[in-house]
Amino acid sequence: MDLTLKVWRQNGPTDQGKMETHSVTGVSPDMSFLEMMDMLNDQIIRAGGDPVAFDHDCREGICGMCSMFINGEAHGPSRGVTTCQLHMRSFKDGDTITIEPWRAAAFPVVKDLAVDRSSFDRVIQAGGYISVNTSGETLDANAIPIPKPQADEAFNAATCIGCGACVATCKNASAMLFVAAKVSQFALLPQGQPERSKRAKRMVEQMDKEGFGNCTNTGACAVECPKGIDLSTIARMNRDYLSATVKED
């Protein structure tokens, strides 16, 4: 199929940026969206131009590196997938596709479609862990049984890949779903209890410091999340955060 692409070009965080139009022909419906972008770049390089920069790595929907805002939606029109798992069969011959980077103050543009998400790492560094040394001298793994439904719920929260689609899709550029997923994973496990309050408080504070917006409960984040992280995680985080602030001496 033949497509017209409107692609965001921006040479660094301070550049103003603009949309640029390209056409690609002979796109196969079996191609992934990123393979279509490879094709575009191959064409641009052979013609002596500057290829479109975009982040990608595993191309199997798990590393969280790819990040494109396609036709106004994070990771494009399909649900439950990242851009790398979006296939061109989701589009029609003759379509015009608009491709933009994640837009958020806390995710400055590196170049074109690639953004800087190190703010997510700093939120995790603020408390997204269980403080245990790596000596291996801990309890036997089966010493604390965890009911399966609870373990499964912790797992579901833990599936967040840190791609940032929740932020990109939120009108306030809020990172609540990302932070809540990590807070929930540990809040649901016995190992996470000792630092539960402190963790929620520190992570939320860091999130605010990074310049992410507030949550107004529209739920768009959960709709666009490629891993289906549930909105209930946000409720859990709010509860933990509130109790942490009340407990504070």
Of residues 187-206, those binding other proteins (CB under 8 A): 189, 191-192
3-state SS assignment for residue 158: helix
Taking CA 115 as the corner, what is the angle to CA 113 and CA 119, rounded to the nearest 5 degrees?
A: 160
> Smallest distance from the beta carbon of 242 to other proteins, in angstroms?
22
CB atoms within 10 A of CB 223: 15
Q: Are 206 and 151 in contact (CB under 8 A)?
A: no
Residue 14 near other proteins by CB under 8 A: no
Q: Can you read off the two tokens belonging to residue 138?
A: 């801990």
> Smallest distance from the beta carbon of 176 to other proteins, in angstroms?
19
> Smallest distance from the beta carbon of 96 to other proteins, in angstroms?
21
Choose between 132 and 246: whose C-beta lies nearer to other proteins: 132
Residues of this chain, 111-150, that bind other proteins according to CB under 8 A: 111, 114, 116-118, 120-121, 124-126, 128-142, 144-148
Give bridge partners of residue 69 from the DSSP assignment.
74, 100
Among 161, 179, 200, 204, binds other proteins (CB under 8 A): 161
Choose between 191 and 238: whose C-beta lies nearer to other proteins: 191
Q: Phi and psi of 187, rounded to 5°?
A: -65, -25
Among 15-23, 53-61, 94-102, 165-173, which window interacts with other proteins (CB under 8 A)?
A: 53-61
Kind and range of the H or E run holding 20:
strand 18-24
Distance CA 135, CA 133 (A): 6
Choose between 141 and 246: whose C-beta lies nearer to other proteins: 141
> Smallest distance from the beta carbon of 75 to other proteins, in angstroms?
12
Residue count of the chain, please give it.
Answer: 249
Among 1, 6, 20, 62, binds other proteins (CB under 8 A): 62
Total number of residues that touch other proteins (CB under 8 A): 81
Tokens 């932070």 label which residue? 179
Distance CA 129, CA 229 (A): 19
Among 77-85, 96-104, 217-225, 230-238, which window interacts with other proteins (CB under 8 A)?
A: 77-85
Q: Is 137 exposed, middle or buried (0-12, 13-18, 19+ CB in 10 A)?
A: exposed
Choose between 38 and 205: whose C-beta lies nearer to other proteins: 38
Choose between 188 and 215: whose C-beta lies nearer to other proteins: 188
